[in-house]
Structure 1
Amino acid sequence: MANFVRLVVLVLVLVLAAASLLVAGGAPGHAATVLKYSNWLPVGNVMREKVVEPWIAEVAKVTNGSVKIEMLPKVIGSVPAQFDVARDAQADITIFVNGYTPGRFDVMEVAELPFMCDNAELYAAVVNNFYRTHLAQYGEYRGVHPLSVFVIGTGQLFNNKRPIRALADIKGLKLRSPQPGVTQSLNLLGAVPVSKPASELYELLSSGVIDGTLLVPESVGSFKLIDSLPYATIVPGALYNTILTLGINEDKWAALSRENQDAITRISDDLFARAVGRAYLDGDRVTWEAMRKGGKSIETASPELVAEVRQALKPVETAWIEKARKRGVADPQKLIDDLRADIAAASK
């Protein structure tokens, strides 16, 4: 009888131990996969707080704790080098800005051309789908598996010198450029482009290196630049959009089970892209409200000015077509037309 009791107790102990392991996130011998995320988004950034952090929590949930993402305390490497950080497995996951490495994502730049779309939520999802169906074949993300390809808020013009009411008002302004296409646009508009990441804006403005920047409105607020950039010019249709990508090292992705890959894909892709676009639209409204309360200038470009800018920036599209051909795109104009058709269809 005593032996029987001891056997029952032993069985109960083993059952409780197994249950404890399952609650902790895995079965015996199957520890959770922990992926390192290289973060460069500051505390208070709308994408970090409203999208990235909830997504990290959701990954653990949809994989039943078998995949967890650890946000590292500081960025690995530099912000412009984040694609390399993921590709070379210095970290497993990161968000990188395509335009911070000129010449690397030339075909992808089709989605950054002037006057494509000024609705971030709509366009983010369009760009993600357009990448999957039209652009992935060109292999510009080789070494990194894109979990979501998206745009953030619409890029607009901010400066600390004067309101922009005519092309002449832009000439001579030293303006920060986030990507190659914008650099070309600024040259065509008579400004002086300075290519730097957004994280350096405060120092560049306070030291007088630049007079302003092309930037999404949300970031003017989250980077605490409202007092440094008292003049805002909204250009309907958008002077540009910036592509960002949530990417994971290809080998790390391949090592995950198909079940976990599918679960993570379902909460990434379009859902992640739309969430980013929506978050930036909300953030834009916060910035506009803060600028108005602070007595700053917010003006919408007149139809006449928009027409002048469109005409001045036509060479940007021509230059991209030539660049895309060199990258193996047989019919670059068709890519442009297909993208505009997708935008029109999503807008209905």
Structure 2
Amino acid sequence: MKPMVLAAALWLAAAFPAAAETLIRYSNWLPVKHQMHAEVFVPWMAEVEKITQGRVRFEILPKLVGTVPTQFDVVRDGLADMAVFVPGFSPGRFELSEVTELPLLADEPTVISPAANALYTKHLAKYNEFKGVHMVSLFSTAAGHIYTAKKPMRSLADLKGLKLRTSLASNGPAMIALGAVPIQKGTNEIYELVTSGVVDGTLWTKEGPAGFNMVNGTLNHMLVVPGGLYNSILALAINEDKWNSISPPDRDAITKISGEAMAKAVGESYSRADERGLQVMKAAGTTVVTAEGDFLAGIRRALAPAEATWIAKARKKGMANPEAVLADFKADIAARQRAFEGTR
């Protein structure tokens, strides 16, 4: 190479150094076959590596760092670089986001999941509830309903005194309003709790019992509540310092395939799983009752105060217009529901 050409090449290399590779260590608690992991997160990680031409790579750690309820802290503190966390596993900590867990919002995952992300982006992000992490996306699982082992639920009277396992702190007041007794425990404890008689049943999604093999003699009765008794939100987050170590162009490229795009993909994965789960339950002889008429009206009356409770919490947290935020959220859900029904 001629001296002048060599000098120019060396100058260019010094002036524009190759972008450093960023390795993101992912703390995973989902089963490898779970729809979110297999159908959403793993393909997303592959796409990130592709669009950044390998400058951003992922390592799925061999075991969970910390515990499932502490995943937000694990990422914020840099013990792992990325994880999925459930705000509802931390009572009293992320109260603004509890609006997405309110009862009777929507039971179609492809509606509620992107709507939850849009709400977060438009109204909640500015309050910085999740300080210390970059929110890749916030999304929702499918709606939750009630399952019991021994008897079907055909009226409000049938719910009185039932000991029901719940997953989220916000489920408790709703169950108490319906006359049930909430016992907050993790999903991995459901089988033992039910079979030992510690609880009469559990709140869960339509895909839950089939996915955990609890449809043949364990959870035999299901009550479907139109709109859902709750929606559990989750978020995929990256440690803020790790995120900032990625070049701005690569951050922009990653953002384009995250956010609402990921929330939609999660919703679609849960919608498919719900349909499969419902078919498995019906084939196994599970009694499926849908609340309607006076039964549904009674449930709605009992759960109506939940909105006022969240509004009071939000105002205490400094939100000036929680009523307007909730109304906007509901309007967005209604619009997405109409669009969804138009595709059926």
| Contact kept in structure 1, 2:22 and 2:245, CA below 8 Å | no
Q: What secondary structure sits across from 2:320 in the alignment?
A: coil
Q: What secondary structure sits across from 2:289 in the alignment?
A: strand
| Contact kept in structure 1, 2:19 and 2:247, CA below 8 Å | no
Q: Deviation per CA, 1:155-214: give whole Å up to 9, x if none.
A: 111111211110111111111112122110001111110111222222222332222111
Structure 1 residue 32: Cα displacement: 2.6
Matching residue's letter, 2:243: W
Alignment pair present for 1:218 and 2:207:
yes
Identify which of 316, 324, 329 aligns with 1:326: 316
Alignment pair present for 1:153 and 2:142:
yes
Q: Deviation per CA, 1:217-244: give whole Å up to 9, x if none.
A: 1122222222321111111111111110
Aligned to 1:287: 277
CA RMSD across the alignment = 1.6
**1:1-348 → structure 2 map (5 Å cutoff):** 32-227=21-216, 228-348=218-338
- Please list every run of 5 or more consecutive structure 1 residues that lacks an aligned counterpart in the other structure: 1-6, 8-26
| Contact kept in structure 2, 1:46 and 1:280, CA below 8 Å | yes
TM (norm. structure 2) is 0.90
Q: What secondary structure sits across from 1:180 in the alignment?
A: coil
Q: Deviation per CA, 1:25-80: give whole Å up to 9, x if none.
A: xx997553110111000132111111111111111111111111111121111101
Q: What secondary structure sits across from 2:288 in the alignment?
A: strand
Q: Which is worse superposed, 302-311 or 222-231?
A: 222-231
Query: How many residues end up aligned between the 2 structures?
Result: 323
CA distance in 2, matches of 1:69, 1:221: 31
CA distance in 2, matches of 1:209, 1:51: 35
Q: Deviation per CA, 1:281-339: give whole Å up to 9, x if none.
A: 11111111111111111121122211100101122122112111111112221111111
Structure 1 residue 345: Cα displacement: 2.4
Q: What secondary structure sits across from 2:222 in the alignment?
A: strand
Matching residue's letter, 2:302: A
Q: What secondary structure sits across from 1:155 in the alignment?
A: strand
| Contact kept in structure 2, 1:44 and 1:222, CA below 8 Å | no
CA distance in 2, matches of 1:263, 1:202: 42
Q: What secondary structure sits across from 1:153 in the alignment?
A: strand
Structure 1 residue 268: Cα displacement: 1.1
Q: What secondary structure sits across from 2:113 in the alignment?
A: helix
Matching residue's letter, 2:154: R
| Contact kept in structure 2, 1:158 and 1:229, CA below 8 Å | yes
| Contact kept in structure 2, 1:149 and 1:244, CA below 8 Å | yes
Q: What secondary structure sits across from 2:143 in the alignment?
A: coil
| Structure number with bigger Rg | 1
CA distance in 1, matches of 2:19, 2:248: 16
Matching residue's letter, 2:205: V
Q: What secondary structure sits across from 2:47 in the alignment?
A: helix
CA distance in 2, matches of 1:31, 1:330: 43
CA distance in 2, matches of 1:120, 1:303: 24
Matching residue's letter, 2:307: E
Q: Deviation per CA, 1:13-32: give whole Å up to 9, x if none.
A: xxxxxxxxxxxxxx997553
- Please list every run of 5 or more consecutive structure 2 residues that lacks an aligned counterpart in the other structure: 2-15, 339-344
